């Protein structure tokens, strides 16, 4: 994993679990300067959880860095890797409310919101619901859950780029169920089955497909991690749960409602060769929101760990660190 462009590793100085209702408890942590500028990191997936290296996008001398694991993944409980975990209270609206609950719990007035991939969708949703709480937005690998975006990556569009890897994604689904536009639903039927013999193979296939295609060059370590059954089950179950429900949002909502956040300083960072969330979505957001700075990294795919994307994200947080706001 490329992290040379980022700040050195740091450890949290505070952490805990926050009850947010519906039986869910969120793991959260704070690192960096306790008196620094607050920033909240929104991880991808949905369902990926956070990792220690993600603290490193922010200057620890100038930022109060908040990471948390969204409902049912990472170190939050209950965990979607356990088939009995109910996901009915895991929706975009619940996660937006959780971010606000965490902000109040930590005594933060306003904070910078940093999110990539699914985290960019959640950042847009949160900022549009609570613009008064956001000082800046740093967004990467733009994803807005439009039908065209889901069809591209999970219904066969991206197979044109990765026909060999696509065969692995298709493998758990019988030929008769590989109908046009029906793969996400076919996966859903298996991922909700309580029997590990039924849900684990498609969960691993779903997660390996994504981890194999998010970087310009394959990351063997990330691909191997994707095969761990419990985490793969959580990741695939939560993503699929969101996708079959369209994120509980109107089609195109996150771009259509940009006027609510047009006044918020923002940076959009997009890898030109992003096969997971292709640049067309970032371009649509850019055209709707020209005030936001738009940075295209010409030698990168989707992952925040890729050198050019990491450098662009750090440059954005460094610049915003100079702007007052707490």
Overall average pLDDT of the 239-251 stretch: 98
- For residue 167, pLDDT over 70 is answered with yes
Q: How far apart are the first and last CA of the chain?
A: 32
- For residue 227, pLDDT over 50 is answered with yes
Mean pLDDT over the full length of the chain: 96
- For residue 325, pLDDT over 60 is answered with no
Q: Which of 199, 274, 286, 305 is catalytic?
A: 274
The CA radius of gyration of the chain, in Å to the nearest whole number, is 19
Q: Is 117 a catalytic residue?
A: yes
Q: Which of 69, 241, 302, 305 is catalytic?
A: 302
- The model scores a pTM over 0.95: yes
Domain with CATH 3.40.50.1820 in the chain: 14-145+248-323
Q: Which of 117, 120, 212, 305 is catalytic?
A: 117
- For residue 21, pLDDT over 70 is answered with yes
pLDDT reported for residue 323: 78
pLDDT reported for residue 68: 98
Per-residue pLDDT band for 88 (boundaries 50, 70, 90) equals: very high
| Nearest Cα to Cα of residue 121 among 241, 4, 258, 22 | 258
Any idea which fold 14-145+248-323 has?
Rossmann fold (3.40.50)
């Amino acid at each position: 994993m490329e992290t040379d462009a980022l700040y050195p590793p740091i450890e949290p100085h505070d952490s805990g679990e926050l009850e947010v209702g519906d039986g869910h408890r969120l793991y959260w942590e704070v690192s960096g300067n306790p008196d620094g500028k607050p920033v909240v990191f929104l991880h991808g997936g949905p369902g990926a959880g956070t990792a220690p290296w993600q603290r490193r996008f922010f200057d620890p001398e100038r930022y109060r860095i908040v990471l948390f694991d969204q409902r049912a993944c990472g170190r939050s409980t209950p965990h979607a890797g356990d088939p009995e975990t109910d996901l009915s209270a895991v929706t975009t609206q619940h996660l937006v409310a959780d971010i606000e609950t965490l902000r109040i719990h930590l005594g933060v007035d306003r904070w910078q919101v940093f999110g990539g991939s699914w985290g960019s969708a959640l950042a847009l949703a949160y900022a549009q619901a609570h613009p008064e709480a956001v000082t800046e937005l740093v967004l990467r690998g733009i994803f807005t859950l439009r039908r065209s975006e889901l069809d591209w990556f999970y219904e066969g569009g991206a197979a044109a780029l990765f026909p060999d890897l696509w065969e692995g994604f298709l493998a758990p689904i019988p030929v008769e169920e590989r109908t046009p536009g029906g793969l996400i639903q076919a996966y859903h039927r298996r991922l909700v089955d309580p029997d590990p013999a039924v849900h684990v193979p498609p969960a691993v296939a779903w997660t390996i497909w994504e981890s194999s295609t998010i970087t310009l060059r394959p990351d063997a370590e990330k691909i191997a991690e994707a095969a761990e059954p419990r985490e793969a089950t959580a990741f695939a179950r939560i993503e699929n749960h969101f996708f079959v429900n369209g994120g509980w949002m109107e089609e195109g909502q996150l771009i259509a409602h940009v006027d609510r956040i047009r006044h918020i300083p923002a940076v959009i960072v997009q890898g030109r060769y992003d096969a997971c969330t292709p640049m067309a979505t970032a371009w649509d957001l850019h055209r709707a929101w020209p005030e936001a700075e738009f940075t295209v990294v010409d030698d990168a795919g989707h992952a925040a760990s890729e050198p050019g994307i990491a450098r662009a994200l750090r440059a954005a947080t460094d610049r915003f660190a100079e702007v007052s706001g707490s």
